Amino acid sequence: MNIPNSITTLIVGIAVTLISLWYGQHHGLMPVAASADANDVDELFNLMMTIATGLFILIEGALVICLIRFRRKKGDLTDGPAIEGNVPLEILWTAIPTLTVFILAIYSFEIYNKMGGLDPMVSGSGMAMSHHHHHNPSTMENMVAMGVDSQVAIGIGKSMSAGEQEPLVVEVNGLQYAWIFTYPDTGIISGDLHVPVDRPVQLNMKAADVIHAFWLPELRIKQDVMPGQLSQLSFVANREGTYPVICAELCGSYHGGMKTTMTVETAEGYDAWVQSRTVAMQSEENQTVAVNPSDLSDAAFLQAYAEEMGIIKNTLDQIPHGPMTMMSIHQ
Amino acid sequence: MSEATTHHGGDRKWTDYFTFCTDHKVIGIQYLVTSFFFYFIGGALAEMVRTELATPDPDFVSPEVYNQLFTMHGTIMIFLWIVPAGAAFANYLIPLMIGADDMAFPRLNAVAFWMQPVGGILLISSFFVGAPQAGWTSYPPLSLISGKWGEELWILCLLILGTASILGAINFVTTIFKMRIPEMDIHSMPLFCWAMLATSALILLSTPVLAAALILLSFDLMAGTAFFNPTGGGDPIVYQHLFWFYSHPAVYIMVLPFFGVISEVLPVHSRKPIFGYRAIAYSGLAISFLGLIVWAHHMFTSGTPGWLRMFFMATTMLVAVPTGIKIFSWCATLWGGKLQLNSALLFAIGFLSSFLIGGLSGVMLAAAPFDIHVHDTYFVVGHFHYVLFGGSVFALFSAVYHWYPKMTGKMYDEFWGKLHFAMTFVGFNMTFLPMHYLGMQGMNRRIALYDPQFQSLNQVCTIGSYILALSTLPFLVSMVLGLVKGEAAGRNPWRALTLEWQTTSPPSIENFDEVPVLWAGPYDYGIDSESEDAGESVEEMLAEVAEVG
Ligand code: HEM
Ligand SMILES: [Cu+2]
Ligand SMILES: [Cu+2]
């Protein structure tokens, strides 16, 4: 290799590196991050984006150069040089991906661990329940009674152990096509999620009918919610705002409509919300006191909550009236 | 070029293509035409999906119909388009490439083919009883409650097509091991044959597991058992494990044959030996081995414990190594060559450039913390279309153009071919690139109604998909013009060195008039180029062929 050639290589190398480093930090592809974990995931993504940009420029660049420089001249029927391989080069480009994925795997593992992915979680619903004994129509006790108490919960998030701030526990029930949040501490049942900022939140999640997936894009977390099995997510949201809550697992025709919001607000704001909900619930109870929910069809049962939860009318019409739906709600 | 028309190829009447014919070439064409038929149906369904997504509301079709559309689109594209199209080329080419007169089991081969239309018609007929709506993954319990007969027909179709692909795989492996001409040892075999070995191994190991899952699902559906039904104590996660034990490898079943195609097309049209023959051959086997131990990366957010997620994260990332080796080797094959930029090579380069993007986003998806965010979003839809459309369909078109002269004896129309490429490339990137961003921002998949903030990018995708749909027109024009008034191709218009080019175009019924001679390695381009006249060796060989003919 002659001198000018290696200088060009060097310059190109530096340019590619700089562009990749810059783009890796400035791609703007992710939505806002509303938790420290989300920032960690973004860091990981930025690293991957940096590497990907470098490889992209390198390989697409090589292809474009081939297209321009190595076209056959008209009438030239000769062959190119008979290069069948090059051992050092092949070792190099085996080593590069090997090393890259090794680094990425370790880094991803770190982040995953930090997010509490390997945490034993609360290891089973038994323990999850031990702090909270409330008597509410749809708390986890009912689900335990359905025979899930022997299962270990699946999910992601650090276990909220004693000593730290007391976590806010919310029970999440996914059903075609709504999320229902129950706050065991206050008895609130709501169609949207409210959590205080900077306070650990633990979601104990179950599905009433088919598999749903609970996704908070701004927190970068997602977990399937399954019938007959407990799953959990725990997080600390650190940024106030209202964020979408989306069902990410195909759950029927109105799967696309199965979404609501999570409001992250100050402790005072959250308390005010609790207050207003408690009052609202009392007046609702007065109205519906004579009705036993299990006598109602699913749609009729939901109708009461529909406006509240922002479920569209079509959604209600969609709900099958089969025996599988709403089980745990009715109990 | 040498002789123009020896009418051997014409020995086949068009009616032969509608019979239980055991000639591997007829079967290859049957597969190819059938799979194209289903491609157009699958494509039409995709256009309806995209039309629905042009606006945020479910206004073009109802949400149930929407779910049927993408379920049928995915199923058709995978099981009736890409997989059989791979089998089409394998059937047509393997015996020719190894100098055999047919496949090892010709009748079995015909049986396997005729199962395609049967399976396809069963699947399409499900539209009359309410097509399946649970996605091509058909996860219970949703698949158990959203329409019984459509779902059952879907299961039957997949069982039939799965059986067919097992029969095909047995045939390919036996043919490759037993029917090569004696001079051809396994390391002088064309790389397409290596690719089909790797593919067949995967089919044989994984497809029976899918069959097991489907049969159990069928029991749950029709007989009320509860293998997967949680209301009866079943476990839906077990289905997911069984399903992905097949369906992840299925991704490699869909791309490996086309990796083989690329390894054939690049050296011929860039006039250089394939770079790193053994590296490419063995990395294919490595991919199929790794492909068997990565399935749970589809389940990072499902009922999979944390430690298991980590195991599958590591194995998945490892796939990047053999894949990287292939991409680098292909680029090195082009580098310094004398590229003849015809439609075949353009599609091959289009393959490289788009498959690269699918590969890079694939490594990202392997990282569990990131996958948890984008799983089941449009990021994934973007990713797998870069792999399946960019990685398979581009290479498939490359294969069609490359072997068209061999199959028909005529040259296709290059102008329309290039236009086809340009429209496909633009339409493809317009359709699928924005999807990555949509997914990260919060657009989940399999939805007929979406948040209005995503509308403008969705419109870009939809317009892109219309361009993609229109791109099939120049393709058909090129093919038909070729047949009607294409120049006679002769035996070897590309001056290629693999054996299929030694016989007439199209080949006679018995393939070769005499046992073909192995006068060069499959990729020995420019071997004499150190001497003063680089082209001479090939010219000599061609003269020799002309004499034999
Ligand atoms: C004509 C170009 C194509 C367009 C415009 C297109 C469009 C789409 C869209 C928008 C979806 C998303 C459904 C969703 O998850 O919300 C989809 C799903 C899918 N596509 Fe395509 N696609 C095309 C070609 C292909 C090809 C060539 C293949 C395979 C070889 C393929 C395989 C699939 C699969 C497997 C799914 C998943 C279906 C499911 O979720 O059940 N597509 N396609
Ligand atoms: Cu849902
Ligand atoms: Cu859903």
**Model ipTM?**
0.91
The rounded Å distance from CA A320 to ligand 3 centre is: 15
Mean pLDDT of B125-151: 92
Mean pLDDT of A182-194: 93
Burial of B118 (0-12, 13-18, 19+ CB in 10 A): middle
Q: Chain B 436-455, CB below 8 Å of chain A: which residues?
A: 436-437, 440-442, 444-451
**What would the two tokens of residue A128 be?**
């999850």
Q: What percentage of chain A reaches a pLDDT higher than 90?
A: 53
Residue B456 pLDDT more than 80? yes
Helix (H), strand (E), coil (C) string for B231-281: HHCCCHHHHHHHHHHHHHHHHHHHHHHHHHHHHHHHHHHHCCCCCCHHHHH
H/E element, A171: strand A168-175
Residue A73 pLDDT more than 90? no
Residue A312 pLDDT more than 80? no
Q: What is the pLDDT of residue B3?
A: 39
Chain B within 8 Å of A90 (Cβ-Cβ)?
yes
Tell me the best of B35, B38, B39, B70 to mutate to test the pocket of ligand 1, counting ligand atoms within 8 Å of each CB and taking the most.
B70
H/E element, B207: helix B191-223
Residue A285 pLDDT more than 90? no
Residue A304 pLDDT more than 90? no
Tell me the best of B35, B73, B428 to mutate to test the pocket of ligand 1, counting ligand atoms within 8 Å of each CB and taking the most.
B73
In this structure, the strands spanning A212-216 and A200-207 are unpaired
Is B50 near ligand 1, meaning CB less than 6 Å away? yes
CB contact under 8 A, B339 and A247: no
Mean pLDDT of B433-447: 96
pLDDT, one tens digit per residue, over A98-121 is 999 999 999 999 999 888 877 655
Per-residue pLDDT band at A160 (split at 50, 70, 90): low
Q: How far is the first Cα of chain A from the last one, in angstroms, to the nearest whole number?
A: 78
Chain B within 8 Å of A213 (Cβ-Cβ)?
yes
- Please tell me which residue of chain A has the smallest CA distance to B69: A253
Phi then psi for residue B463, to 5 deg, are -65, -45
Residue of A115, A250, A322 with shortest CB distance to B145:
A322
Mean pLDDT of B119-146: 93
Q: How far is CA A281 from CA A186, A189, A275, B41, in A?
A: 11, 8, 10, 53
Q: What percentage of chain B reaches a pLDDT higher than 70?
A: 94
Nearest CA to ligand 1 atom 27: B389
In this predicted structure, which of A217-221, B398-402, B488-492 has the lowest mean pLDDT?
B488-492
Beta strands in B125-183 (DSSP E): none
The rounded Å distance from CA A211 to ligand 2 centre is: 7
Mean pLDDT of A177-196: 94
* Chain B residues inside the 8 Å CB shell of A85: 275-279
CB contact under 8 A, B336 and A94: no
pLDDT, one tens digit per residue, over B81-105 is 999 999 999 999 999 999 999 999 9
Residue of B62, B66, B525 with shortest CB distance to A82:
B525
Q: What is the number of the ligand 1 atom nearest to the C-alpha of B446?
A: 16
Mean pLDDT of B539-548: 55
Counting ligands in written order, the one closest to the CA of B392 is 1
Most confident option among A68-82, B166-180, B304-318: B166-180
Is B71 near ligand 1, meaning CB less than 6 Å away? yes
Is the distance from CB of A265 to CB of B457 less than 8 angstroms?
no
Q: How far is CA B529 from CA A19, B264, B271, B540, in A?
A: 39, 21, 11, 14
Under 8 Å CB pairs connecting chains A and B tally to 300
Chain A within 8 Å of B364 (Cβ-Cβ)?
yes
Kindly report the length of chain A: 331
Contacts 24+ apart (CB under 8 A), A158-164: A158/A115, A158/A116, A158/A119, A158/A200, A158/A234, A159/A116, A159/A119, A159/A120, A159/A121, A159/A122, A159/A123, A159/A234, A160/A122, A160/A200, A160/A202, A160/A234, A164/A200
Q: Chain B 309-348, CB below 8 Å of chain A: which residues?
A: 309-310, 313-314, 317-318, 320-321, 323-325, 327-329, 331-332, 334-341
Residue B537 pLDDT more than 80? no
Q: What is the pLDDT of residue A84?
A: 86
Q: How far apart are CA A170 and CA B172, in angstroms?
A: 56
Tell me the best of B67, B77, B433, B467 to mutate to test the pocket of ligand 1, counting ligand atoms within 8 Å of each CB and taking the most.
B77
* Chain B residues inside the 8 Å CB shell of A313: none
Average pLDDT in chain A: 79
Q: How far apart are CA B239 and CA B228, in angstroms?
A: 6
Min distance A203 CA to chain B CA atoms (Å): 15
CB atoms within 10 A of CB B303: 21
Residue A47 pLDDT more than 90? yes
Residue A319 pLDDT more than 80? no
Nearest to residue B182, comparing CAs of B511, B499, B518? Answer: B518
CA atoms within 13 A on the CB side of B413: 17
Q: What is the pLDDT of residue B51?
A: 97
* Chain B residues inside the 8 Å CB shell of A223: 301, 372
In this predicted structure, which of B12-16, B200-204, B293-297 has the lowest mean pLDDT?
B12-16
pLDDT, one tens digit per residue, over B24-70 is 999 999 999 999 999 999 999 999 999 999 999 988 999 999 999 99
Is the distance from CB of A193 to CB of A245 less than 8 angstroms?
yes
Q: What is the pLDDT of residue B303?
A: 77
Cis, bond preceding B236 (omega within 30 deg of 0):
no
Is the distance from CB of B382 to CB of B435 less than 8 angstroms?
yes
Q: How far apart are CA B540 and CA B536, in angstroms?
A: 6
pLDDT, one tens digit per residue, over B407-423 is 999 999 999 999 999 99
CB contact under 8 A, A222 and B375: yes
In this predicted structure, which of A83-87, A147-151, B263-267, B313-317 has the lowest mean pLDDT?
A147-151
Q: What is the pLDDT of residue B530?
A: 45
Counting ligands in written order, the one closest to the CA of B36 is 1
Residue A157 pLDDT more than 70? yes
Task: Give the residue with greater pLDDT, B534 vs A34.
Answer: A34
Task: Give the residue with greater pLDDT, B242 vs A2.
Answer: B242
Question: What does the DSSP 8-state code read for residue B465?
Answer: H
pLDDT, one tens digit per residue, over B275-315 is 999 999 999 999 999 999 999 999 999 878 888 888 999 99
Q: What is the number of the ligand 1 atom nearest to the C-alpha of B465?
A: 5
Mean pLDDT of B201-222: 94
Q: What is the pLDDT of residue A164?
A: 66
CB contact under 8 A, B372 and A156: yes
Nearest CA to ligand 1 atom 43: B46
pLDDT, one tens digit per residue, over A258-282 is 999 999 999 999 999 999 988 877 7
**What would the two tokens of residue A158 be?**
């650090």
Helices (H), ranges, A27-86: 36-69
CB contact under 8 A, B338 and A72: yes
Residue of A55, A72, A112 with shortest CB distance to B368:
A112
Average pLDDT in chain B: 91
Chain B within 8 Å of A250 (Cβ-Cβ)?
yes
H/E element, A88: helix A87-114
Per-residue pLDDT band at A7 (split at 50, 70, 90): confident
Residue of B133, B275, B441 with shortest CB distance to A83:
B275
The rounded Å distance from CA B18 to ligand 1 centre is: 30
CB atoms within 10 A of CB B304: 21
At position A284, the amino acid (one-letter code) is E
The rounded Å distance from CA B442 to ligand 3 centre is: 14
- Please tell me which residue of chain A has the smallest CA distance to B437: A29
CB contact under 8 A, B527 and A82: yes
Is the distance from CB of B423 to CB of B470 less than 8 angstroms?
yes
Chain A within 8 Å of B182 (Cβ-Cβ)?
no
Is B73 near ligand 1, meaning CB less than 6 Å away? yes
Q: What is the pLDDT of residue A289?
A: 46
Per-residue pLDDT band at A250 (split at 50, 70, 90): very high
Q: What is the pLDDT of residue A281?
A: 76
Q: What is the pLDDT of residue B1?
A: 34
In this predicted structure, which of B135-139, B291-295, B303-307, B537-541 has the lowest mean pLDDT?
B537-541
CB contact under 8 A, A253 and B62: yes
